[in-house]
Amino acid sequence: MEHQIINKTILSILVILSFTLSSCFKDNEEDLYPDGGTCNTENVSFSQTIWPVINNNCVSCHSGAGANAGIRLGSYSEFVEAIDGGRLLGAIKHESGFSAMPQGGAQLNNCSISQIEAWIAQGKLNN
Ligand code: HEC
């Protein structure tokens, strides 16, 4: 009898522990290392790396005639124009004095922001 109670207690502690631990590990992995522990900022490709992020997070509000704040991000040249306009990096980095983007959504992950900065430093190539 006593053994059973102790066993059940140990079991429930283990179950709770494993849930807590696994959720912690998941949080860390996804937030800090969205692509499995590395963030490749070498020779960043616009079409492979930058465009999917912008298309998924920004274009719905920033394309066509009704684009918010008059900022269009619907193509390579519009995206470059927005960067050259000087408001884009501050907005995605949530710097003070800028409207935080994507509006109403989670901030882009650190890796995506680093890759955008690296791509700019590498010459904003349409690659
Ligand atoms: C849900 C709609 C929505 C999404 C998604 C969105 N924006 Fe915006 N964006 C807005 C609105 C509305 C404004 C004008 C807000 C303001 O000026 O306060 C704006 C303003 C901006 C500005 C000007 C900011 C400033 O401070 O001058 C930039 C740059 C910008 N957005 C870039 C982006 C980028 C890059 C993304 C994707 C990472 C994005 N937006 C996603 C709605 C959106």
Q: Could you read off the pLDDT of 27-55 as tens digits, one per residue?
A: 544 555 555 679 999 999 999 999 999 99
Beta-carbon contacts of residue 52 (< 8 Å; ≥ 6 apart): none
Atom of ligand 1 nearest to the CA of 69: 14
From 61, 84, 98, 110, the mutation candidate for ligand 1 (largest count of ligand atoms within 8 A of CB) is: 61
What are the residue boundaries of the structural domains of the chain, listed by start? 1-32, 40-121
Cα(11)–Cα(13) distance, integer angstroms: 5
Q: Could you read off the pLDDT of 48-79 as tens digits, one per residue?
A: 999 999 999 999 999 999 999 999 999 999 99
Would the pTM count as exceeding 0.75?
Answer: yes
pLDDT at 6: 58
